[in-house]
Amino acid sequence: MSDVRPWRSGSTDVVPASAQTPAEIAAYARQLTPREQRQVVSAFEDGNYELGAGFLWSRGMSALKKRLEALGSDFIGEMLDRPDIGPSESLVRSLTDYDAVRLAEELGMFTPTQSMRLRNAMEVVSHFSEPPTEGDDDESREMLAEEALGVFRACVQASLGQEELSSALEFAEFRNRLESEQLQADDSQVEMLAGSSDFFVSTTVRVLMALAKTSEGGRLDHALGNINIILPAVWSRLTDPDRWLVGRTYAELHASGKRTRISALRRALLRVNGFDYVPEDLRSRSFIEAARRVEDVHNAMDNFYNEPAAIRELASLGTVVPIPALPQVMTAVLSVRMGNRYGISWDAQPAADAILSGITKDRWRYYIDECLARDAGILAKFRHSQPRQRWVDEVVERYAVSEVEPKSAFGRQVLKASVSNRQQRLEDLMTRAYYMSVGSS
């Protein structure tokens, strides 16, 4: 095993820059039938951009999720910390578009630029799928040709122009080894893992925790043994959220009385002095699930309409957020608060405000120091001026985040740029952090 990109993207653009018209781009859409290609081109030529872009996005995401299924649906579930996604689960049905894009990006299926274009496309399609609001002028809500063309190109580049996957991927193979082989502490694979990228280390730990919960028989024995080898080797590299994941796994196994698994994980936690990251109860689970639902609706169609109910449910759990759940809760509530480049869900703001008003300075410091630099979803928002400005006005200023004194250099830089409203500086800082968080240098 080596620390290679799990997916060799090749990085050559499927759609060359010279392809400018719908017909020229359609020629590269291998996964569209000839009839579909003609229909899409016809929609564009007739000015039905919303219809054409919507169809392309839907087909593109289905194709992308199918490619991810090659890794194994249960593996995808482990990476996303979603125990509801089992080995026979259809990712087309159970994976949100946002998670599919994020995951594909982290796995190196796209270059950072391709990923940025795909996210833009996602926002465009999502915005124009929203029903018009009162007072919205129908003319001003028309999708422009260049916006539709951007969606077309991004979808073909990301998935519709890609061939079917035929080779096994190194990451999926590594995952299989974790439950089929017993590694040793001086194993070169373990040593290489300890020096691998943060994403790879984090994902390995996620896989091991999932295997501790779901494997059986001999595979379970290997997984438990490997936890006691790998966790001490990488513990110092893990962020707090990942350490809390390990602790939460112990708590969940303890609650379900699975003694052999508890015993192995307990040994590992003792070796790394990791019991500080074991929650005393599982209240955090409710917060994490509710936060996940907020994120899902925020990144899906009709998000402005659906966000209020989801964020109110999260707020109803209480304003004292357990530390193990803080990263996910902050991502969810900041997503709602900052919105996207098209605006915010106004009806969702009171509940978001209630949650953020309850975040203490210590918790803000924890989030800025330990979580923000890896929060890809929030970091990506800083590319657009509206969410970026809302961060300054509706988050930093409103909740006096400037009074927090971060310990990390990154945290201090972010707050300094925010307080002085240096928009370009903020964008640069966050963009760089974003690419690092998804494993790009």
Partner 1 sequence: MAATILEAEGVECEETTRCLAELIVSLSDYREEGAVLFPVVIVTDDLSFTKRLLQSWMSIRLGKGNRSGWTIREALKRTAPLTIGNTWFVYLQRGPDGFEYGVLASPSSPVASSPSETIHGIESGPLALLFRRIGDRAVEAVGLRRRTVIHLSAVDHEEGAPIEALEPLCRVASRQCEADIRDDFSNFLAQVLDDILQRGHGALIAVVAPESDMPPLLQKADGRADGIQLEEAIDVAAIYSMTRGAEALGQPEAGFQLASLLQLVEGMLSADGILLLDSVGRICGFNLFANQPGSTTDAEIIGGARRRAFEAMKHAVTNGDMLAAYMRSSDGASAVYVPKVGHYE
Chain residues in the site for partner 1 (CB under 8 A): 83, 213, 216, 247, 251-252, 254-260, 262-263, 266-267, 270, 275-276, 278-282, 285-286, 289
Nearer to partner 1, 253 or 380 (CB): 253
Nearer to partner 1, 58 or 256 (CB): 256
Nearer to partner 1, 275 or 346 (CB): 275
* Residue type at 259 in one-letter notation: R
Q: Which residue in the block uniquely carries the two structure tokens 């796995």?
A: 107
Nearer to partner 1, 14 or 211 (CB): 211
Rounded-to-integer distance, Cα 333 and Cα 354, Å = 10
Task: List helix spans (H) across 181-298.
Answer: 188-194, 198-214, 217-234, 240-255, 259-271, 283-298
Min dist. Cβ of residue 289 to partner 1 (A)? 7
Min dist. Cβ of residue 375 to partner 1 (A)? 24
Q: How many angstroms separate the first and last alpha carbons of the chain?
A: 20
Nearer to partner 1, 66 or 283 (CB): 283
Q: Radius of gyration (Cα) for the chain, nearest Å?
A: 22
Nearer to partner 1, 36 or 81 (CB): 81
- Return the structure tokens found at 425: 């500086």
Min dist. Cβ of residue 176 to partner 1 (A)? 22
Rounded-to-integer distance, Cα 53 and Cα 434, Å = 27
Min dist. Cβ of residue 248 to partner 1 (A)? 11
Min dist. Cβ of residue 278 to partner 1 (A)? 4
CA neighbor of 39 nearest in space, from 28, 26, 50, 24: 26
Rounded-to-integer distance, Cα 378 and Cα 431, Å = 10
Min dist. Cβ of residue 244 to partner 1 (A)? 12
Rounded-to-integer distance, Cα 353 and Cα 399, Å = 9
Rounded-to-integer distance, Cα 8 and Cα 24, Å = 26
Opening angle at CA 251, ends 246 and 255, nearest 5: 145
Min dist. Cβ of residue 213 to partner 1 (A)? 7
Nearer to partner 1, 16 or 86 (CB): 86
Sequence-distant (6+) residues with CB within 8 A of 253 are 212, 213, 261, 262, 265
Residues 188 and 3 sit within 8 Å (Cβ to Cβ): no
Q: Which residue in the block uniquely carries the two structure tokens 């966000």?
A: 307
Sequence-distant (6+) residues with CB within 8 A of 96 are 296, 299, 300
Nearer to partner 1, 247 or 308 (CB): 247
Residue 343, SS3 per DSSP:
strand
Min dist. Cβ of residue 250 to partner 1 (A)? 8
DSSP sequence for 206-232:
HHHHHHHHH--HHHHHHHHHHHHHHHH
Nearer to partner 1, 27 or 282 (CB): 282
Residues 101 and 125 sit within 8 Å (Cβ to Cβ): no
Min dist. Cβ of residue 78 to partner 1 (A)? 15
Nearer to partner 1, 163 or 280 (CB): 280
Min dist. Cβ of residue 222 to partner 1 (A)? 18
